[in-house]
Structure 1
Amino acid sequence: MALDKLHVLLVCNLGYSTGIMVTKMKEVAENSQSLKDVDIKIEAHPAGELKEYIEDFDVVMVGPQMKHQLNALTEVAAQFNKPIEVINSRDYGAVNGGNILKAAILMKLKPEV
């Protein structure tokens, strides 16, 4: 399956800490030859606003500090049939936008079970 669009929503408590990650992920995407023709949108928003934004995105990634809210966030994501995962805390702490972007791509391409 070819990747033609990847819209990633990062959620955290207030949307601030993931804002830095959005910048890093966008840098990686812009400098990637294999993603040059892919429609990429990456945004960060507070977890409390998930319902307001989720329809515009393909995947939802949760900041590790919000892991305790994963069950509630997963219920919302399920209503919209969107995959959701917690961001790897090591990658998050290291601000490794490349690994997190790769995880988002794998989420999008993962076949539904």
Structure 2
Amino acid sequence: MSKSILLICGSGASSGFMAANMRKAVKKEGLDYKIKARSESELGDYADDIDALMVGPHLKAEFEGIKKQVPDNVKVILMHADYYSILDGKGAIEHLQKELGE
């Protein structure tokens, strides 16, 4: 079953690069994840259509508020700076799978 994953950061730029690298990793692993990146301000437009939300580590201070903007069934994950800072898509996918219990 396909999972829809949304990444957000402040402007959408760094999460856009991260999403591209995650899509490459997903393709290599043969996973059925649809990965998009948007700015934090666009979250409301997408919150009802996603299975998981990955939040850039620089938004840690807003994390609790961000969680309140999505439905309860959406898994909200704060990305780790260690893989985010180097745009390691494989590391992000591994974190996502662990959080989703897959």
Structure of larger gyration radius: 1
Structure 2: which 5+ runs fail to align? none
2:79 to 61, 84, 87: 87
Separation of aligned partners in 2, 1:7 and 1:68: 25
Matched residue count: 102
Q: Does 1:16 align with 2:13?
A: yes
TM-score (norm 2): 0.89
Counterpart of 1:49 (choices 42, 46, 49) is 42
Letter in 1 for 2:38: H
Asked if 1:70 corresponds to 2:67, the answer is: no
Q: After the TM superposition, which segments of 4 or more aligned residues of structure 1 sit over 4 Å from their partners? A: none
Q: Which residue of structure 1 aligns with residue 94 of structure 2?
A: 102
For structure 1, the 5+ residue unaligned runs are none
- Are 1:54 and 1:80, in contact at CA under 8 Å, matched by a contact in 2? no
- What displacement does 1:13 show? 0.6
